[in-house]
Amino acid sequence: MADITTEPLLGHAQIATYATGVRRNGDADGELIGILGIHFDWAPQAAAITQGVRLAHDERLRTRVLLTDAQGLIIASSDGKGILSEHVRLRTEGKASGNYTDASGTLIAFHRTPGYETYAGLGWYGIIIQKPD
């Protein structure tokens, strides 16, 4: 699995790339006989996640929902801004999830994505940034 990127050969689409080895007889430790790779169209999934967060109308006007990679690069944004160009610096204090209020009164909530089954994930974060009323 690779972090989200744009691919010029696919019309500059935002993609998630997955690859795995193909092994003889399907054995986990079998001889490597090939590679299977897939480019997943990331933008529709990202929009469904970030825009699908349940917020009241007044909250939606002052809230930004983000997904970032492990380095804080925005890979999805509810407002469509900063994707693959803006970084977010979280104050996690070593925690996988939490929240805090910054000096301007903005609430920042975060949670590191857990991966899936035996896959630990890439250290991405889901983030909600909500300005005060």
Using the predicted structure, report yes or no on whether residue 27 has a pLDDT greater than 80.
yes
Give percent above pLDDT 90 in the chain. 89
What is the arithmetic mean of pLDDT over 63-86? 96
For residue 119, what pLDDT band results from cuts at 50, 70 and 90? confident
Residue with tokens 């005060």: 132
Q: What DSSP string describes 24-75?
A: GGG-TTSPEEEEEEEEEEHHHHHHHHHH-S---HHHHHTEEEEEE-TT-BEE
Contacting residues for 102 by C-beta, under 8 A, at least 6 apart:
108
Contacting residues for 80 by C-beta, under 8 A, at least 6 apart:
none
Domains of the chain: 5-130 (3.30.450)
Predicted confidence at residue 24, as pLDDT, reads 95
Question: pTM of the prediction?
Answer: 0.87
Among candidate residues 3, 37, 40, 42, the one with its CA nearest the CA of residue 19: 37
Cβ contact 92:72 at 8 Å: no
How is residue 42 written in tokens?
């990331």
Predicted confidence at residue 107, as pLDDT, reads 98
What is the arithmetic mean of pLDDT over 46-55? 94
For residue 76, what pLDDT band results from cuts at 50, 70 and 90? very high
How is residue 66 written in tokens?
């983000």
